[in-house]
Amino acid sequence: MKVVLVGQPNVGKSAILHRLTGAEVIVSNYAGTSVELTRGNVRLGKKNIEIIDTPGIYSSLAAVSAEETITKELLSKESVNLVINVVDATSLARNLALTLELLGTAKPLLVLLNQMDRVRSKGMVIRHAELARWLGVTVIPFSAVTGEGVAEVFDYLDRGLSEGFALPNPEVHKGNLQVLAEEGGFSCDGLCWACSHEKAKVSCHEEQIWGLQLQARALANKVLDYESRRRVQWLSRLEQLVDRPVLGALVLMLVLWVGFKLLLAFTGWTEGIIEGLFQPVQQFLAFCITKVLPDGFVSQVLSKGIAEGLLIPFALVLPAIFMVSIFMAVLEDTGLLARYAVVLDRLGRILGISGQAVIPLALGFGCRTPAVVATRILSNPRERLVVITLLSIVIPCAATLGMIVAVINAFNAYPEAIAGSMLMAFIGLGLGLKKRFGVKQEEMVYELPPLRVPFVKTLVAKVRIRFRGFFTEVLPLLVIMSIGVRVLIDSGVLRFVVGIERVTEFLFGVPAEAFVAVLITVIQRYLAPLVLLNLDLDPRQATIAISMIALSLPCLPVMVTSWREVGAWNLGKIIATGLAISFTTGTVLNLVLPK
């Protein structure tokens, strides 16, 4: 059995998928984060139900944008047994416009009024039984956060499995829609899908779309009431402050600064503790290696390299990644992450990037590979290339951020210089690409979620998902890389690069071994700082080296994805640009930083 979740952006479809199936989906809490289908499964009795989360669409299903096309093709071509329309109940009138369209898809329809916890906190009362009568389908109050309505949904699915899902009665909903249209002084019945499906020569122009909105507003007014006393929340006042253009941006920058300081303090505090805990492990490993291998150069190098190589990923990197995971989860669940996207959009306007381009750029701070895929929402090929170039070179993923913090802590590097270099590179590269390609900027309306107090259970789940990926994918590479670097250093192999020492010192002010770390970014950017952590650098050298690493070549997964998205020729230009930006950054910092 196949069930499809359909709704406007940022209504909680991914959260509902997780609540119903347990599928581990990172819910980013801002519009446009999904451009592909996400699937989860749940068993009721002996039957398996596949639930599919689709990209958010506003209206209408007759349109042809990338997100709408994915959803429309799924509903029209695949064997869908049930459509679940997820509605943001706090914005009932706007969301019901899509609901009215879905009534014409000739598919069984269930409407979930999500975020009912917020509806009540705002003093709103929705008569869902009356709404169900007007629509001619089942309507269930729901909250993905609290779990309200989950039992009712499973009961509905269980009955549907045994009795079958009833199709919406066309006479009921079409008659009711006609009543709403007449009350609004509009003649269109609003069934855009039916017009498209029947290939009628009807074009839903702005006037007809506006008529659909009027019907949705009229329906919302019939089923929506407000309590005499509306509850005023401190979060609402804070939301008004944060959403101010100038003052809100300053508040968001302050939050970033505080989060960064906490990150540095936490990693510095845990380093000594983990080193103390690991000391017996290091001694045991060194003892075992010397006992197994005969005395000599190999035994000496491996006993020291493996023991010390294990320490760095656990003592320096693990705490940083842990704090970055918590910070990202808090930003997502509080609703602040979407507001950072708005701030990024204001910067993007200077660079000529459209508002929609902010979505993949914001996703890149989690992982750049899916962010490159997310550029598919951009219709302009030149703009896609610009955004993929910025993602590949300038935007650091969460793992890289953690490694940067580890280097700053280990060598007392200058965070202001590192952050300033990345910001200037972003602006400079963006302006250069704007001049080169002349990308036309488009306006975008943002769907800002409300500010929330995050639930501890949700935060723990997100950190667990990210940390599991760290332990299964990142940590093994870090351990192998760290041991390998330590062995190379202790064995003297890296002395062969001393021949370019004069060049790297003159141009960048860093030893040759640190320059090797810049080249390692072609494999994986977050692995490169491990070379630095195994070297003896002063704060100035560490600042220059980590800045060059943060602004360098795209890692191998990003290269493969970019090749698929924009082709080998454009990928080659991105790599060349990355090298130029990295070398320029190192040269400039070497000139301006005091020796």
- Residues 214 and 252 both lie in one domain: no
Instruction: Write out the two tokens for 326.
Output: 């918590």
Task: Find, among 1, 220, 218, 4, the residue nearest to 109 by Cα.
Answer: 4
- Residues 289 and 327 both lie in one domain: yes
- How far apart are the two ends of the chain, measured CA to CA in Å? 68
Task: Find, among 481, 469, 584, 568, the residue nearest to 524 by Cα.
Answer: 481
Q: Which CATH number does the domain housing residue 7 bear?
A: 3.40.50.300
Residue burial 546-579, b: 16+ Cβ < 10 Å; e: rest: bbbbbbbbbbebbbebbeebbeeebbeebbebbb
List the beta bridge partners of residue 2: 50
- Residues 204 and 339 both lie in one domain: no
- Residues 125 and 255 both lie in one domain: no
Q: What pTM was computed for the model? A: 0.66
Q: Can you tell me the distance from the alpha carbon of 25 to that of 17, in angstroms, rounded to the nearest whole number?
A: 8
Instruction: Write out the two tokens for 225.
Output: 């009431």
pLDDT of residue 31: 47
Q: Is residue 232 part of a domain?
A: no
- Residues 220 and 250 both lie in one domain: no
Residue 383's Cβ-count burial label (10 Å; 0-12, 13-18, 19+) is: buried
- Residues 190 and 275 both lie in one domain: no
Instruction: Write out the two tokens for 439.
Output: 């990308």
Q: Is residue 181 part of a domain?
A: yes
Tally of domains within the chain: 2
Q: What is the largest CA-CA distance in the chain?
A: 94
- Residues 367 and 515 both lie in one domain: yes
| DSSP code at position 231 | P
Q: In what order do the strands lie in the sheet with 82-88?
A: 38-44, 47-53, 2-7, 82-88, 109-114, 138-141
- Residues 211 and 342 both lie in one domain: no
- Residues 203 and 274 both lie in one domain: no
- Residues 35 and 158 both lie in one domain: yes
Residue 152 is part of which domain span?
2-224
CB atoms within 10 A of CB 59: 21
**Domain final residue pick, 164, 191, 224:** 224
**CA 435 distance to own-chain centroid:** 29
Contact in structure between 219 and 96 (CB atoms under 8 Å): yes
Q: Is residue 238 part of a domain?
A: no
- Residues 323 and 265 both lie in one domain: yes
Q: Is residue 550 part of a domain?
A: yes
Instruction: Write out the two tokens for 16.
Output: 């509902």
Task: Find, among 389, 321, 361, 387, the residue nearest to 526 by Cα.
Answer: 321
pLDDT of residue 198: 46
Contact in structure between 101 and 190 (CB atoms under 8 Å): yes
pLDDT of residue 29: 46
Contact in structure between 101 and 128 (CB atoms under 8 Å): no
| DSSP code at position 553 | P
Contact in structure between 131 and 139 (CB atoms under 8 Å): yes
What is the full per-residue pLDDT of the chain (595 aa) written as tens digits? 888 999 887 788 888 888 888 765 554 444 444 556 778 888 887 888 888 888 778 765 555 556 667 777 777 766 788 999 999 998 898 899 888 888 877 789 999 999 898 888 888 899 999 999 888 899 999 998 888 999 999 999 999 888 888 887 666 666 666 666 666 555 555 455 455 444 444 444 455 566 677 788 888 888 988 875 555 467 777 888 888 878 888 888 888 888 888 887 887 788 778 888 888 887 888 888 888 888 877 777 777 777 766 777 777 677 877 887 788 788 877 888 777 767 766 666 666 676 667 778 777 877 788 788 878 777 678 888 888 999 999 988 877 887 888 888 889 999 999 999 998 998 888 888 878 876 555 555 666 777 777 777 777 877 887 777 667 766 777 677 767 776 776 666 666 666 788 888 899 999 888 888 888 877 777 778 878 887 889 999 999 999 999 998 888 888 888 998 889 999 999 999 999 999 999 999 999 999 8
Q: Is residue 231 part of a domain?
A: no
Match 């949904």 to its residue by tokens: 153
Q: Can you tell me the distance from the alpha carbon of 386 to that of 436, in angstroms, rounded to the nearest whole number?
A: 10
Q: Is residue 19 part of a domain?
A: yes
The enclosing H or E element of 206 equals helix 206-223
Contact in structure between 470 and 401 (CB atoms under 8 Å): no
Q: Is residue 451 part of a domain?
A: no
CA angle 205, 207, 213 (to 5 degrees): 105
- Residues 153 and 267 both lie in one domain: no
Q: Can you tell me the distance from the alpha carbon of 552 to that of 531, in angstroms, rounded to the nearest whole number?
A: 15
Phi-psi region at 32: left, alpha or beta (left = phi > 0; alpha = psi -120 to 50): left
Q: Is residue 452 part of a domain?
A: no
| DSSP code at position 52 | E
